[in-house]
């Protein structure tokens, strides 16, 4: 026998021996969604039709042409009857002999909105009362081979709310509950129901109080045992080693001796293998394991958001009885609150690095949640990443988002500040309500805790500062109640936000940070936030609500700015989608119905008049509102970044919309970027030049998020609007790592010399050798005072290798240049920018349409007159 045959036989022998040692896999768990063959009908009336699951009653009525588009013109007003009706959803599903013979047969309801009675084959199996909870029901004794009936009766959330309101000793404040629009007068019923607050209206959203099966229904069938959940606790994560613990939640029909195994799916490497004793019923099995030299998860801008895919197995008698896959990233992420000379810090530390949080507040993408598509989620997270963001705050008046949202944040390095779903209201404190909140917290923490993007759990939005129990400030809520009622309400507040929620975070996570309310000046409930924040986080609404000028963004400092903003209208292309030509006036009934802030239109006009000429033309006013919004938020972002390390975060209100509307968003309902989002992308870039004048002195700051210092050259070039170079200076500068520093100071008089401040711009650049690190512009006067010359703008469409570009240049300065292709789905890679004399800029065009020169519309500041 030759050596080749000997080696081959040996290989086959050892391969067989190796395979014999591997557990056999048994396909134990079978899961399928029951999302087809649904119908709905109006209880005690005639409306009926085919239903989409997941879905809502409003979208089903729309699909069956029983109502018109809720977002079009003023259709919202005529659709308030829907939430006062009861609706019943019905379906049937088949069970095979194999499925019915399984030892365990459950129905899992991922989301029922909201008061839902569930019947299986005529038997009541569940009375749900919380939109945010998940429910799982054992149907083994009710199910049968063949056809099974599933029926869900949805009680009107408004009628249920009225019952609870009438049974309450007093009402609760809920200023954003648009009860009048819903035909309820002053009866604010939203606080009694565990349902998305914004469904009842907000100052940027309509009132559509939905009902329906808003997340999937699953049929689960298995024998003997299942892994219900696996949590990868991150006890200690450093670049040298990650100390982890796998928490298996196992449910078994009988006791047995088995093994738990954890593998790294990308390499197949076995990380954990341990024999365990499984008891009958529910088991929590915790087994530690380590990973040497782990690939760490980093936020956007600091490194790669590396992730691991762990496969957990439960083995019995050398057979894999159950499997569970966990996707997570390994990182050390914590909120740092330490006493300092100014008060107390408030910043996030990721893998030992102090991170300046750059981002936005996030609301649901639609009033009708099930129609938010995968593409919608991908677009909003891409918009955040493309704008150099590293954090989004999931605001407490919406929902705990779908898994895909957090998956995308994990994948793209976007940290998540996660509010619990309480906002701008007070809530009951009875035992039933509190128990419901407790289960809601558990469901959502357990569902989301493996996501490395979760940076913070926050109890509520603005309730601490609104209630202000320990001070004389607040929103006037305390004055509504007598002393005994105040004590009852305060107890409910403490029970929810200082007991139930922090206890749940402590119990179900591996040490995630909790913050009771945003804003708050410290962890203790008496630390009410105000505009003198030396600790905690701040919501600064002096600009907008308080009529403070944009310059006050520099005056009101914060350790972490978690809310601020300014409104604009969507552009004309979006407005055309929900209006008719007769509506083209910002004071028209239709435009007013898509402006939910009562002060909104006048506030935009007033601020515009301070800095700009106010056009009377409708399209130009929409354009100017976006230019104004971008100017305001640029002022804010630069002030916050200049103030680091005192200030370590800036999250503007808000990145997105839930319907087409005038709002504080930087991208509209259709995900179209406003001027503000283009501006934010530049203001959030890793290296920023920010020029700020105070007391006739101009200081130029270099702000860097880079973890290494840079040595470069700062170039200052004073240019006339007609293109004349008036002054140039180059200075060697050290750009310090991960901080803000002053690179240059000068009196304004020395910089300007004899030149007119209304006719010049200071162009700033920092280069490291031949690489441009950052640039910026500084104007010495307000836009309305600038002597902008008439400019000749040249544009040329270019197609190269199937890609489309537009090349634009001008002989004189052009401010806030907006390129728009009318009635086309085309996005410009840059827009609303200033074009220097002689500068040539090439913009890539993307979208579903082919750009045509005839469709191009150019808008800029020189065109605006009062």
Query: Which whole number is the average pLDDT over 616-644?
Result: 98
The pLDDT > 90 percentage for the chain reads 95
| Residue 59, φ and ψ in degrees, nearest 5 | -70, -30
Tell me the CA distances in angstroms from 454 to 131, 392, 500, 796, one per residue in order: 22, 10, 19, 46
**pLDDT at site 209:** 98
Structure letter (DSSP) for residue 577 = T
pLDDT band at 17 (very low <50, low <70, confident <90, very high): very low
φ, ψ at 779 (rounded to 5°): -105, 145
343-366 in b/e form (b: 16+ CB < 10 A) is bbbbbbebbeeebbbbbbbbbbbb
The residue behind tokens 């879905």 is 55
The mean per-residue pLDDT over the stretch 561-585 comes to: 97
* Residues in a beta bridge with 220: 31, 106
Counting residues of the chain whose pLDDT is more than 70, the rounded percentage is 97
From residue 821, alpha-carbon distances to 776, 824, 847 in Å are 27, 6, 11
Calculate the alpha carbon distances from 734 to 315, 702, 714, 745, 761 in Å: 59, 9, 10, 15, 24
729-749 confidence digits (pLDDT tens): 999 999 999 999 999 999 999
Q: Above 60 in pLDDT, residue 19?
A: no
Tens digits of per-residue pLDDT, 500-535? 999 999 999 999 999 999 999 999 999 999 877 899
Mode of pairing for the β-strands spanning 357-362 and 649-652: parallel
pLDDT of residue 14: 43
Cβ-contact 186, 493 below 8 angstroms: no
Please, where in the chain does CATH 2.60.40.10 lie? 224-355, 687-785, 793-863
CATH superfamily label, 793-863 = Immunoglobulins (2.60.40.10)
pLDDT-based confidence at residue 495 (cuts at 50, 70, 90): very high
pLDDT tops 50 at residue 455: yes
Write the CB contacts of 360 (distance below 8 Å, at least 6 apart in sequence). 384, 389, 392, 393, 651, 652, 653, 654, 655, 666, 680
Residue 471 CA: distances (Å) to CA of 464, 474, 525, 686, 770: 11, 8, 11, 40, 57
pLDDT one-digit tens code per residue, 372-415: 999 999 999 999 999 999 999 999 999 999 999 999 999 999 99
Instruction: Provide the pLDDT for residue 22.
Output: 64
Give residue 21's pLDDT band: very low, low, confident or very high (50, 70, 90). Answer: low
In CATH, 687-785 is 2.60.40.10: yes
pLDDT at 11: 44
Torsion over CA: 82, 211, 190, 651 (sign) = negative
- At residue 840, the 3 state secondary structure works out as strand
Class of domain 358-571+633-681: alpha beta
The pLDDT assigned to 532 comes to: 76
pLDDT in tens, 175-233: 999 999 999 999 999 999 999 999 999 999 999 999 999 999 999 999 999 999 999 99
Q: What is the pLDDT at residue 12?
A: 43
Q: Give burial (CB, 10 Å; 0-12/13-18/19+) of 777.
A: middle
The pLDDT score that the predictor gives to residue 631 is 98
- Is the pLDDT at 346 greater than 60? The verdict is yes
Contact (CB, 8 A) for 264 and 308: yes
- Give the DSSP H/E element, type plus range, for residue 781: none
What is the rounded distance in angstroms from the CA atom of residue 384 to the CA atom of residue 365? Answer: 14
Q: What is the pLDDT of residues 307-335, one digit of tens each?
A: 999 999 999 999 999 999 999 999 999 99
3-state secondary structure 649-699: EEEECCCCCCCCCCECCCECCCCCECHHHHHHHHHCCCEEEEEEEECCEEE
Q: Which of 151, 127, 172, 89 is nearest to 436 (CA)?
A: 127
Terminal C-alpha separation, the chain: 100
pLDDT at 31: 95
Give the model confidence (pLDDT) of 348-378 as tens digits: 999 999 999 999 999 999 999 999 999 999 9
Which residues neighbour 21 within 8 Å (Cβ) at sequence distance 6 or greater? none
**DSSP 3-state assignment of 589?**
helix
763, 719 contact by CB (below 8 A) = yes
Beta-sheet pairing, 649-652 with 48-51? unpaired
Collapsed DSSP state (helix, strand, coil) of residue 496: helix
Is pTM beyond 0.85 here? yes
Average pLDDT over residues 638-665: 98
As a whole number, mean pLDDT of residues 656-672 equals 98
Residues of the chain within CATH 2.60.120.260 domain(s) are: 31-218
According to DSSP, the residues that pair with 325 across neighbouring strands are: 311
Helical residues (DSSP H) of 387-539, grouped into ranges: 403-412, 431-448, 463-467, 483-495, 501-508
| CATH C-level class of 224-355 | mainly beta
Model confidence at 452, pLDDT cuts 50, 70, 90, reads very high
* Average pLDDT of span 11-37: 69
**CB of 659 within 8 A of CB of 366?**
yes
Q: Tell me the CATH number for domain 31-218.
A: 2.60.120.260
Residue with tokens 């007070």: 426
Q: What gap in Å lies between CA 709 and CA 701, rounded to an integer?
A: 15
Instruction: Give start-end residues of each CATH 3.20.20.80 domain in the chain.
Output: 358-571+633-681
**112 has a pLDDT exceeding 90:** yes
Strand (E) positions, 317-442?
A: 319-328, 333-336, 347-350, 353-355, 357-362, 391-394, 415-419
CB 530 within 8 A of CB 475: no
């Amino acid at each position: 026998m030759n050596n080749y045959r000997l080696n081959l036989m040996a290989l086959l022998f050892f391969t067989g021996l190796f395979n014999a040692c591997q557990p056999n896999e048994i396909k134990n768990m079978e899961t399928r969604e029951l999302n087809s063959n649904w119908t709905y009908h109006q209880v005690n009336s005639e409306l009926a039709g085919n239903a989409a699951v997941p879905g809502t009653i409003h979208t089903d009525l729309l699909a069956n042409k029983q109502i018109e588009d809720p977002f079009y013109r003023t259709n919202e007003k005529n659709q308030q009857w829907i939430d006062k009706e009861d609706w019943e959803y019905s379906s049937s599903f088949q069970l095979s002999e194999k499925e019915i013979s399984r030892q365990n047969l459950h129905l899992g309801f991922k989301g029922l909105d909201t008061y839902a009675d569930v019947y299986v084959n005529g038997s009541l199996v569940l009375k749900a009362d919380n939109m945010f909870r998940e429910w799982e029901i054992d149907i083994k004794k009710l199910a049968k081979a063949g056809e099974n009936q599933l029926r869900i009766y949805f009680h009107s959330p408004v009628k249920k709310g009225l019952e609870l309101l009438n049974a309450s000793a007093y009402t609760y404040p809920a200023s954003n509950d648009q009860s009048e629009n819903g035909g309820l007068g002053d009866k604010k019923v939203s606080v009694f129901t565990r349902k998305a607050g914004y469904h009842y209206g907000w100052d940027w959203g309509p009132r559509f109080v939905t009902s329906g099966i808003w997340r999937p229904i699953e049929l689960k069938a298995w024998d003997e045992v299942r892994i219900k959940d696996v949590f990868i606790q991150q006890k200690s994560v450093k670049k040298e080693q990650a100390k982890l613990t796998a928490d298996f939640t196992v449910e078994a029909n009988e006791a047995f001796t088995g093994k738990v195994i954890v593998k790294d799916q990308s390499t197949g490497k076995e990380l954990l293998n341990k024999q365990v004793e499984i008891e009958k019923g529910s088991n929590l099995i915790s087994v530690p394991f380590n990973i040497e030299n782990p690939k760490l998860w980093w936020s956007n801008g600091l490194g790669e958001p590396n992730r691991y895919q762990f496969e957990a197995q439960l083995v019995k008698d050398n057979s894999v009885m159950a499997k569970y896959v966990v996707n997570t990233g390994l990182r050390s992420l914590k909120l740092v609150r330490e006493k300092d000379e100014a008060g107390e810090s408030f910043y996030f530390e990721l893998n030992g690095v102090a991170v300046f949080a750059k981002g936005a507040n996030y609301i649901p993408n639609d009033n009708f949640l099930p129609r938010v598509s995968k593409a919608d989620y991908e677009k909003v997270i891409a918009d955040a990443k493309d704008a150099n963001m590293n954090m989004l705050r999931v605001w407490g008046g919406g929902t705990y988002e779908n898994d895909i949202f957090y998956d995308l944040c994990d994948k793209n390095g976007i940290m998540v500040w996660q509010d619990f779903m309480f906002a701008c209201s007070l809530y009951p404190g009875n035992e039933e309500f509190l128990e419901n909140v407790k289960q809601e917290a558990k469901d959502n923490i357990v569902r989301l805790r493996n996501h490395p993007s979760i940076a913070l759990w926050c109890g509520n939005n603005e309730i601490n500062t609104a209630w202000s129990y320990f001070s004389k400030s607040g929103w006037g809520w305390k004055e509504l109640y007598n002393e005994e009622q105040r004590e009852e309400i305060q107890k409910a507040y403490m029970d929810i936000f200082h007991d139930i929620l922090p206890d749940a975070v402590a119990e179900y996570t591996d040490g995630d940070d909790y913050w009771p309310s945003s804003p708050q000046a410290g962890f203790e409930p008496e630390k009410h936030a105000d505009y003198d924040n030396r600790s905690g986080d701040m919501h600064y609404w002096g600009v907008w609500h308080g009529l403070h000028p944009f310059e006050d963004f520099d005056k009101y400092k914060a350790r972490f700015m978690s809310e601020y903003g300014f409104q604009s209208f969507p552009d004309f292309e979006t407005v055309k989608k929900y209006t008719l030509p007769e509506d083209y006036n910002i004071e028209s009934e239709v435009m007013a119905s898509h402006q939910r802030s009562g002060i909104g239109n006048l506030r935009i006009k007033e601020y515009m008049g301070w800095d700009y000429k106010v056009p009377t033309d409708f399209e130009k006013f929409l354009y100017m509102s976006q230019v104004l919004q971008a100017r305001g938020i640029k002022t804010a972002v630069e002030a916050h970044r200049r103030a680091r390390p005192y200030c370590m975060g800036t999250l503007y209100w808000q990145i997105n919309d839930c319907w087409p509307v005038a709002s504080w968003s930087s991208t509209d309902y259709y995900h179209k970027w406003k001027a503000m989002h283009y501006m934010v992308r530049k203001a959030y870039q890793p290296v920023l030049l920010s020029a700020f004048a105070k007391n006739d002195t101009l200081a130029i700051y270099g702000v860097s998020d880079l973890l290494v210092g840079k040595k470069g050259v700062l170039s200052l070039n004073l240019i006339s609007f007609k293109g004349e170079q008036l002054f140039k200076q180059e200075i060697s500068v050290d750009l310090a790592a991960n901080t803000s520093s002053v690179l240059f100071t000068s009196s304004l008089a020395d910089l300007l010399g004899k030149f007119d401040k209304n006719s010049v711009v200071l162009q700033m650049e920092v280069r490291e050798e031949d690489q441009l690190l950052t640039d910026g512009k500084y104007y010495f006067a307000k836009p309305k005072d600038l002597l902008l010359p008439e400019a000749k703008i040249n544009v040329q469409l270019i197609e190269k290798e199937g890609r489309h570009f537009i090349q634009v240049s001008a002989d004189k300065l052009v401010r806030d240049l907006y390129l728009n292709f009318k009635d086309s789905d085309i996005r410009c890679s840059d827009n609303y920018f200033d074009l220097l004399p002689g500068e040539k800029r090439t913009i890539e065009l993307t979208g579903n349409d082919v750009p045509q020169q005839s469709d191009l519309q150019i808008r800029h500041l020189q065109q605006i007159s009062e």
